[in-house]
Structure 1
Amino acid sequence: MATELKSSKYRCPQCSAGDFAVTTTRWRCTGCGQSFACASGIPRLFVEDRLGAQDRKLRDTFYDGLFGRLYQITMPAIVMPVRPLAISWPYWIAYGVMVGLILGLAAGLISTLITGAFAAAALLFAALALILWLLSRQSWLLHLMWVAVPAWLSLSRKPWAPSESFAAVHERALAPLRDAGRRLQILDVSTGSCNSLYRHGWMALDADYTAIDLSETMLKQGSDLMSAAGVPVDLVLGDAMELPFQDDRFDVVLSYGAVNGLSDPAKAIAEMARVARPGGTLLFLDEQMYDAATPVERAYFMKVLSSHNVIHHCPVEDFPPSLTDVRVSQVYQFYYICTARKAG
């Protein structure tokens, strides 16, 4: 039996109406009649045919693929060259084993060819070809094999400190929200596993949380994380380019590691601004090279860290005029955080 939902938060991506007939398996817009199926109880509030080609590709081949299914392993592997050895050493061990295996197979292949042991050579060639083919299925992983050590050596020889740290940027955003005097509404766009929403201070606020992502694989991980932590959150499968929320709804709109890889970053930021309340805070993080990057660091950035992106910097030139107090902080060698306020 359907429950009538008259929402001050959601809106239909087809007609923009805000009323739905809701069951555990389907949401039906009472304005236009469009139905939206649920995945594990999470509504899929987007229109598949209107997705950007880049967004569909990343969802289908990246986040709903091997990368997303093994996210707790693959994401730390991507950033292995820029993380301290104290926390990245297990990945360096795995990396060393893989490199050793590849080099051992290559050396064995050459040796068997020289000695004329062609049957053994065929087996070694097949094993080596299979490994390289599997790596090539995720091109960032194939490039990581050759660039990880040079990038780490390059980064290690010249310490770098930001003018404003990751923690300082978050404290600047969080401090006024702690004294809001009312319950806040927080939205995390392209939330993935909800890890950033959970970890970076937002849980300490008096707030209701909403998180949206296009990938079912990633959002189910987010559901598991928040459930295990005992944090209520409204989860939505949706398109960052057409957020299924009413105008002027959220006090805080976040996004970690998504904007640069979307089909239309400018449209996504405009949507984040649309759903923010006047005076609301926007904060998003993504990849951007620092000025002193060496050629090998740039290769790592473009071939691995930022390989799935359509832009490689904070697109301040495309911000909507409704955003004020824009500040872009280079918090790590390859990451920026942008903060802004919606005028009003």
Structure 2
Amino acid sequence: ANLRPLANQIGPHGQIVAVDLSLAMLKVAKGRASTIPIPIHLARADGCHLPFVDNSFDAVFHFGGINMFGNVRQGIEEMVRVAKPDAPVIISDEGMSERRRKTWIGRRLGEMNTLNLCRPPFADIPWDHVHAFELHWAWRELFYVLSFRKGNDPKASVGTPQEEVHRRIKT
């Protein structure tokens, strides 16, 4: 579902490498990729053990599934590892904002799908290897979007990870 919007952002001279552990999802992606006019390479791989060399990608985008990883920290570390220095890393998944959780609809959505109760994985971000962190909420505050860049920004005075998170949270 994400291939066309990504291709539109990348433009006609880029390419996409898409990874999934599920053969069924890769088959769906293959069908969708056939209608997109830029190269799309599909690979079956575990997100906690990506089969790419360090510093391979201009950007890393992960949408959906991080909440289900057996080792979220390792998955995020892998995303950072394969990103080029200063490349953006964007991670999004189900997880309501604190404000949404307190509403009647938020409580009902949490009962209907416990993944909606997941929180952004702040503790799993390798803070020593990222900068320009931001948290945004999407789709009526039902999904979190974490974005940051690989590498340290020597100009930034971050403090502790908790201070950085509190400074950047926009609800």
1:301 & 1:202 partners in 2: Cα distance?
Answer: 33
Does the CA-based 8 Å contact 2:80-2:89 persist in structure 1? yes
- Equivalent AA in structure 2 for residue 306 of structure 1: L
Q: Which residue of 2 aligns with 1:208?
A: 15
- Equivalent AA in structure 1 for residue 67 of structure 2: N
Change (3 A) 1:240 1:301: same
1:266 & 1:297 partners in 2: Cα distance?
Answer: 27
Question: Are 2:31 and 1:234 aligned?
Answer: no
Give percent identity, aligned residues only.
27
Q: Report how many residues are paired.
A: 147
Q: Secondary structure of the residue that 1:306 maps to in structure 2? A: helix
Q: C-alpha displacement at 1:304, in angstroms?
A: 2.0
Question: Are 2:37 and 1:252 aligned?
Answer: no
- Equivalent AA in structure 2 for residue 207 of structure 1: G
Q: C-alpha displacement at 1:297, in angstroms?
A: 2.2
Which residues of structure 2 form unaligned runs of 5+? 153-171
Deviations 1:227-262 (A, max 9, x none): 122332111001001001101111100101121121
Does the CA-based 8 Å contact 1:197-1:203 persist in structure 2? no
Which residues of structure 1 form unaligned runs of 5+? 1-194
Q: Which residue of 2 aligns with 1:319?
A: 125
Q: Which residue of 1 aligns with 2:109?
A: 300
Does the CA-based 8 Å contact 1:209-1:233 persist in structure 2? yes
2:13 & 2:59 partners in 1: Cα distance?
Answer: 12
Does the CA-based 8 Å contact 2:12-2:37 persist in structure 1? no
- Equivalent AA in structure 1 for residue 148 of structure 2: A
Highest CA radius of gyration, 1 or 2?
Answer: 1
Counterparts of residues 1-344 of structure 1 (less than 5 Å)? 195-200=1-6, 201-204=8-11, 206-293=13-100, 294-304=103-113, 306=115, 312-320=118-126, 321-332=128-139, 333-343=141-151
Deviations 1:1-52 (A, max 9, x none): xxxxxxxxxxxxxxxxxxxxxxxxxxxxxxxxxxxxxxxxxxxxxxxxxxxx
Q: C-alpha displacement at 1:328, in angstroms?
A: 0.7
Q: C-alpha displacement at 1:295, in angstroms?
A: 4.2
1:324 & 1:342 partners in 2: Cα distance?
Answer: 6
Does the CA-based 8 Å contact 1:257-1:286 persist in structure 2? yes
Decide which structure has greater helix share.
1
- Equivalent AA in structure 1 for residue 118 of structure 2: H
Q: Secondary structure of the residue that 1:272 maps to in structure 2? A: helix
1:206 & 1:305 partners in 2: Cα distance?
Answer: 40
Q: Which runs of 4+ in 1 moved over 3 A?
A: none
Q: Which residue of 2 aligns with 1:128?
A: none
2:3 & 2:114 partners in 1: Cα distance?
Answer: 21
2:22 & 2:89 partners in 1: Cα distance?
Answer: 22
2:12 & 2:151 partners in 1: Cα distance?
Answer: 22
Q: Secondary structure of the residue that 2:96 maps to in structure 1? A: coil
Does the CA-based 8 Å contact 1:289-1:298 persist in structure 2? no
1:286 & 1:292 partners in 2: Cα distance?
Answer: 17
TM-score under structure 1 length normalisation: 0.40
Does the CA-based 8 Å contact 1:290-1:330 persist in structure 2? yes
Tell me the C-alpha RMSD between the 2 structures.
Answer: 2.0
Q: Secondary structure of the residue that 1:338 maps to in structure 2? A: strand
